[in-house]
A = this chain, B = another copy of it.
Amino acid sequence: MEYQISDKLKNMKPSAIREIFKSLTDPSIIAFAAGNPAAESFPVEAIAELSNEILTNTPVTALQYGITEGYPPLREAMISRLSEKFGIGRPDDMTIVVSGGQQGLELTCKTLCNEGDTVLAEDPSFIGALNCFRSNGAVVKGVPMDEDGIDTELLEKALKEDPKVKMLYLIPTFQNPTGRTMSLKTRCKVYELALRYGVVILEDNPYGELRFEGKELPTLKSMDTEGIVVYCSSFSKVLSSGMRIGFLTGNEKLMQKIVVAKQGEDVHTTMLPQMICANYIEKYDLDKHIEGIRALYRRKCGIMLDALDKYMPDCVKYTRPEGGLFLWCTLPSEIDLDTFVKRALERKVAVVPGTAFNCDLSTYSDSFRMTYATPTEEQITEGIKILGELVTEFINK
């Protein structure tokens, strides 16, 4: 049979990162390409103990259908935490549990965008989000970034030119893939522009708790007096990515529609992992646990930056992230990115070419993303040394 695939999915390919991720099972490869949190960041023993307790004491709650909005104790715990840590939560806001942050992004787009509507995003941006907007028929348009985050002049131009913009997708803190953090001034300007043009901001903050340098900045949602920001985050980078537990906060009227969309997608999020997260927050010290993850990434990022400073020729530029998982390297224009990435892989170092994160097709053909989260400290130094040698070979050719 010749399948007639829907217009929105017809031209979509599997995410380049997910495909690279599949090939990362080769242990001899130094995996700077992964997007995974460090396995050491999972509180394994606590989760095992909590799971055992739940399945012993309240097995039916863990194994029976739950409600779409999420396991009530988890929602309550998140509401408190979001308020305390991020100044998030006005009286007309509502927080629901979603099946990983990804679902929160997808549901928000589905609820706001018709096919053909525009989503603006930082360019480059998280490929998983861009693809989920596309798979809902939305058109993704990129707005270039500078050191302070999204370029607000170009953002205003894009908002002015395109009346079909429904949503502005942003990762203001420790952005994926660049590792950049949006400045306070840019945050204020972005909020003001979104309000003026009547556009919802979808703030994605999966790395927000992973600051290891510099000063905390307010979330866009914490500035949201007018109810235009939907805030998405998850436990993937602080407790476990495989559990697929995220949360989404926004104005109640909008969230009620998102709940209807979620009913249609998976009825509700898996119960046992929801209960593990709720009980972890209740019985353990999540802040202390996260402090440990910050220390781990501070050390690993420091090792990567030291190695870059030492082994990388000056013509290569890289960001100096203050948190999160990623660092963004830009090659001199004479080096062909695709060839470089292929040669690096031949020498057992995997990085993600910047083209994988492009909103449009032509940009960022000179940069690549690296993570310091999953490789060992030795691998970080060794891998950067190999990449540095490779750059030298390219420029001396």
Interface-forming stretch among A150-158, A263-271, A317-325, A341-349? A263-271
Q: Report the minimum CB–CB distance from A13 to chain B (whole Å).
A: 7
**Contact A271:B242 (CB < 8 A) given known A6-B110, A265-B106:** yes
Ranked nearest first, the 8 interchain pairs of A and B with the lowest CB-CB distance are A132-B264, A242-B271, A48-B55, A63-B240, A135-B264, A44-B59, A42-B63, A270-B270
A interface list, Cβ under 8 A from B: 1, 3-9, 12-15, 18, 21-22, 35-37, 39, 42, 44, 47-48, 51-52, 55-56, 59-68, 99-100, 102-103, 106, 110-115, 117, 128, 131-132, 134-137, 166, 198, 200, 226-228, 236, 240-244, 251, 253-254, 256-257, 259-261, 263-273
Contact of A266 among B39, B103, B198 (CB under 8 A): B103
Contact of A14 among B114, B236, B263, B267 (CB under 8 A): B263
Task: Report yes or no: A55 in contact with B65, Cβ–Cβ below 8 A.
Answer: no
CB closest residue in chain B, given A103: B266
Q: Report the minimum CB–CB distance from A250 to chain B (whole Å).
A: 9
A272 to B277, CA, bound (A): 13
A257 to B134, CA, bound (A): 13
**Interface hub of A55, A110, A236, A265 (most chain B Cβ within 10 A):** A265
A158 to B48, CA, bound (A): 54
Contact of A264 among B5, B113, B131, B269 (CB under 8 A): B131
A257 to B117, CA, bound (A): 22
CB closest residue in chain B, given A268: B244
Task: Report yes or no: A47 in contact with B59, Cβ–Cβ below 8 A.
Answer: yes
Task: Report yes or no: B241 in contact with A269, Cβ–Cβ below 8 A.
Answer: no
